[in-house]
Structures are given as structure tokens and as C-alpha cells.
Amino acid sequence: MKKLLFVLSSLILICGCQTPANFGGTEEKVYRKKNLEILLPGKNQQEVIELMGPPQSYSEDPSGRIITLEYRKEVLDQATGLTFYLTRIWVTFERGICVEVQVELQ
């Protein structure tokens, strides 16, 4: 049951949208801002990396209990209907579980 919920939430998160332009010859997924903010909290670090790929940067506090992954992805803001390219996304984990997602539309 847990695996089924993970698969379903993964499909909702990824949403299947594709960008019209492909800079490197590959099509990038467009993530929905609200989906990131709602579906990532509670997931572990491995689940987030499976969904979003390897992060562009990684930071850890001195205690090792808080880890932040930074991504640059294309994000659709449903409020405006606009797709923002190279949006900064910070995913913060505490004790291995995602506790916060920050999306900076650019």
C-alpha cells in the first residue's frame, strides 16, 4: 500500500508536462509549484532524489541533522499560469525526512 501511494504521488508530482524548447536535446519535466510544496514534505531524501534527480548543490549543518538540497528546475506557477525556467528549489531534511520546500520563481 505504501509503495502504491509513493507511485501515485510521484505521478502527480511529475505531471508529465514537457517544455516546448529543449536546450540540450532532452526534454525537461516541468514541476508544478503547489505539487512540490504539498507532496515533498514527509518524503525521505532518497525518494526526493528519485523524483527530482540529483541536486545541483548540497549543504549540511555542522551537526549533520539538517541537510538541504538545491535544485534548478522548470516550475509552473498555477496562480499565474507561467512557467519559470531555472527556478531555485530548496528541499530541507531533518533527520532524513523532508520538512520544508522553498520555491523561488525566477
- Rounded to the nearest 10 degrees, the angle between the axes of helix 2-14 and helix 45-52 is 40
Sign of CA dihedral 44, 4, 8, 31: positive
Q: What is the pLDDT of residues 42-96, one digit of tens each?
A: 999 999 999 999 999 999 999 889 999 999 999 999 999 999 998 999 999 999 9
Cell of 65: 541533522
Q: What is the pLDDT of residues 17-56, one digit of tens each?
A: 434 444 444 556 899 999 999 999 999 999 999 999 999 9
Distance of CA 103 to the CA centre of its chain: 9
Cell of 30: 516541468
pTM over 0.95: no
pLDDT for position 83: 96
Q: Which residue has the cell 499560469?
A: 81
Query: Which domains can be identified in the chain, with CATH numbers?
Result: 2-20+28-104 (3.30.1450)
Pairing of strands 30-32, 66-77: parallel
pLDDT for position 70: 98
